[in-house]
């Protein structure tokens, strides 16, 4: 076999896994149809938070679905052709919304998110791009009085796990982020995290580091994966390659690649959108969540980025260009002085399981095949620790934590 480990997918998870393996002296090949880290990983909101271990399915979410889909802000949508797949996924999603289940999932997400800032800084060390990870708070801004905000289950869980939370009123919020509209009356500040000045540039820097460590990076579409004697055969473009061990880290495309092997997983294609304003005229000091409109804004190298939306559709469905006008209007409402000229509009695909947890580990009956996908909204945070865990598993070391919550057989 040409390579000891071949990683299919060069997003954040694939790149971080490659780095963790290369640092242990393992020969690695990365294969992706695009440049490393320049699809879903480059377009996110840039939040690098140890405290983003709250799942998407929360108590009472079923009551909010009509408003999320048809209310003033409409951050949630489902393409009509996707409903047959959405219904069973959605029911499983709702089953994970009990308070007990939310706490269990948060417990499983915490060790993946907690070391993210330190691990990114370690990976970036020596690249000259260390400045791309900046200390930050996470500002959860509300248009209502905030006296009871910290009683909510998400903030309670964070506080119990050690997060430094600060409840501020309108005057203090204006001091922290003066560009926010005076419509916002309160905010919860989550301290002790960081933000990416450019997720795409971070991924490019890490890919360059991987190359310097001997990782082979091949740009080609992966179309078929077959188990053969003593390993795996991979069809990518016009090439056919072999490997002893394979990591599937292709995000939302992972499920279709695995299906011919008899592996069925409830992975949804949950698409996110962003608008980036290169001449914004305002600068944010932190990552800012508009808690009503469900979007995150952050100042980046390319301007002010506003990222949000949860659109369920087939992985290869075209983007919905109508969302640009709606997102721009919401951004302007939140930041009245925002200059909206020449915006850049982008869509990416999140790979989402109904329990908000990824799959990390081997597949029973498929020796040498490993999963590293399904990180939902949390891929940027969870990628470095996922890479370390996979590196342990691929080198026959026992991870120093319980990984059963990420099992490939849990569904």
Cα→Cα distances 395→21, 232, 247, Å = 8, 17, 13
* Residue 319 belongs to a domain: yes
pLDDT, tens digit, for every residue of 95-106? 999 999 999 999
Residue 67: the pLDDT is: 96
* Residue 167 belongs to a domain: yes
What is the Cα–Cα distance from 40 to 38, expressed in whole angstroms?
Answer: 7
* Residue 320 belongs to a domain: yes
Task: State mean pLDDT over 20-31.
Answer: 97
DSSP letter string, 326-346: HHHHHHHHHSTT---SS-EEE
Task: State mean pLDDT over 299-319.
Answer: 96
**SS3 of residue 266 by DSSP:** coil
* Residue 20 belongs to a domain: no
Residue 116: the pLDDT is: 98
Q: Extract the tokens encoding 170.
A: 């309108």
pLDDT band at 409 (very low <50, low <70, confident <90, very high): very high
Residue 230: the pLDDT is: 86
**SS3 of residue 71 by DSSP:** coil
Residue 200: the pLDDT is: 97
Give 224: exposed, middle or buried? Use CB within 10 Å, 0-12, 13-18, 19+. Answer: exposed
Cα→Cα distances 390→15, 371, 403, Å = 12, 9, 10
CATH number at residue 294: 3.30.9.10
Provide the residue range defining the domain that includes 189.
55-97+135-194+268-350
Whether residue 275 is predicted with pLDDT greater than 90 in this model: the reply is yes
* Residue 222 belongs to a domain: no
Whether residue 31 is predicted with pLDDT greater than 80 in this model: the reply is yes
* Residue 206 belongs to a domain: no
Task: State mean pLDDT over 69-86.
Answer: 96
pLDDT, tens digit, for every residue of 121-153? 999 999 999 999 999 999 999 999 988 999 999
Question: How many Cα neighbours within 13 Å face the side chain of 208?
Answer: 12
Whether residue 376 is predicted with pLDDT greater than 80 in this model: the reply is yes
Full-model pTM: 0.97
* Residue 305 belongs to a domain: yes
Task: State mean pLDDT over 79-94.
Answer: 97
Under 8 Å between Cβ of 1 and 231: yes
Residue 187: the pLDDT is: 98
Whether residue 1 is predicted with pLDDT greater than 80 in this model: the reply is no
Distance of CA 359 to the CA centre of its chain: 13
Under 8 Å between Cβ of 218 and 29: yes
* Residue 298 belongs to a domain: yes
Dihedral of CA 365/370/374/378: which sign? positive
CA angle 104, 107, 112 (to 5 degrees): 135
Question: How many folded domains does the chain comprise?
Answer: 1
Q: What are phi and psi of 241, to 5 degrees?
A: -120, 165
Residue 160: the pLDDT is: 97
pLDDT band at 237 (very low <50, low <70, confident <90, very high): confident
Question: What is the chain's alpha carbon radius of gyration, rounded to the nearest angstrom?
Answer: 21
Distance of CA 293 to the CA centre of its chain: 19
Residue 3: the pLDDT is: 61
Nearest to 150 by CA among 171, 125, 167: 167
Whether residue 304 is predicted with pLDDT greater than 60 in this model: the reply is yes
Nearest to 274 by CA among 300, 301, 295: 295
């Amino acid at each position: 076999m040409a390579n000891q480990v071949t990683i299919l997918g060069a997003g954040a998870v694939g790149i971080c896994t490659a780095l963790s393996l290369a640092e242990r002296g393992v020969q690695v090949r990365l294969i992706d149809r695009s440049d490393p880290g320049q699809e879903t990983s480059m377009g996110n909101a840039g939040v690098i938070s140890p405290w983003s271990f709250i799942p998407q399915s929360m108590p009472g979410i079923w009551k909010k679905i009509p408003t999320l889909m048809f209310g003033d802000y409409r951050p949630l949508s489902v393409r009509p052709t996707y409903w047959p797949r959405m219904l069973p996924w959605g029911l499983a999603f709702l089953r994970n919304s009990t308070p007990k289940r939310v706490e269990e999932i948060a417990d499983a997400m915490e060790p993946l998110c907690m070391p993210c800032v330190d691990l990114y800084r370690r990976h970036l060390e020596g690249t000259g791009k260390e400045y791309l990870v900046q200390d930050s708070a996470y500002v959860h801004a509300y248009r209502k009085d905030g006296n009871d905000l910290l009683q909510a289950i998400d903030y309670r869980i964070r506080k119990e796990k050690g997060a430094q939370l600060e409840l501020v009123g309108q005057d203090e919020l204006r001091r922290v982020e003066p560009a926010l509209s005076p419509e916002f009356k309160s905010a919860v500040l989550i301290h002790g995290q960081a933000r990416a000045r450019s997720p795409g540039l971070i991924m490019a820097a890490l890919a360059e580091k991987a190359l310097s460590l001997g990782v082979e990076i091949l740009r080609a579409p992966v179309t078929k994966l077959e188990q053969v004697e003593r390993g795996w055969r991979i069809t990518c473009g016009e090439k056919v390659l072999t490997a002893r061990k394979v990591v599937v880290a292709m995000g939302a495309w992972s499920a279709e690649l695995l299906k011919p092997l008899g592996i069925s997983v409830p992975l949804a294609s949950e698409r996110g959108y962003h608008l980036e304003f290169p001449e914004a005229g305002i600068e944010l000091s932190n990552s800012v969540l508009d808690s009503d409109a469900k979007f995150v804004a952050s100042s980046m190298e390319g301007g002010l980025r506003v990222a949000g939306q949860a659109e369920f559709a087939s992985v290869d469905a075209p983007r919905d260009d109508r969302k640009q006008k709606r997102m721009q209007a919401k951004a302007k409402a939140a930041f009245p002085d925002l200059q909206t000229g020449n915006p850049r509009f982008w869509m990416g695909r999140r790979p989402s399981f109904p329990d908000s947890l990824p799959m990390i580990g081997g597949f029973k009956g498929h020796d040498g095949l490993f999963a590293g996908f399904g990180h939902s909204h949390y891929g940027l945070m969870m990628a470095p620790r996922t890479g370390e865990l996979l590196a342990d598993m691929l080198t026959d070391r026992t991870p120093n934590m319980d990984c059963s919550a990420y099992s490939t057989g849990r569904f």
